Amino acid sequence: MPNYYEARDDFASTIARAGFTNVELAKRAGLSRAVIFRATNPRAYPNTSGALRERTAWAIAKVYAQQVGCDDEQAFAILFEGTNNPMVSSALT
């Protein structure tokens, strides 16, 4: 099982279709908006990969699942893909 998760290429459009802004998604998931921005724009931060720790990815997936009416596991699969990339900033908890 991967240690980290990256947002899928269509993450930004997927959350937008669900009615979220980055700020609203972050707030409802109990995260900073910087976490969402880094996940969707990893090239803007050359010292990080944009990967999220598992608990952070699950927090986002659970909020998305509630919004669209699917189960948490399905939401997780829609939004994220696993990676073993260890380059995770301490801000991406």
The SS3 assignment for 52 reads strand
In this structure, what token pair is assigned to residue 91?
């801000």
pLDDT string in tens for the chain (93-residue length): 667 899 999 999 999 999 999 999 999 999 999 999 988 887 776 676 678 889 999 999 999 999 999 999 999 999 999 887 656 444 444
d(CA 46, CA 58): 24
Q: What is the pLDDT of residue 8?
A: 94
**C-alpha to C-alpha distances, 53 to 65, 91, 93, nearest whole angstrom:** 18, 10, 6
Q: What is the pLDDT of residue 3?
A: 78
Q: What is the pLDDT of residue 68?
A: 97
Q: What is the pLDDT of residue 48?
A: 66
pTM: predicted TM-score of the whole model, two decimal places: 0.85
What the chain holds in terms of domains, given with CATH numbers, is 4-82 (1.10.260.40)
d(CA 71, CA 64): 9
d(CA 88, CA 53): 8
- Strand segments, DSSP code E, in 3-44 are 4-7
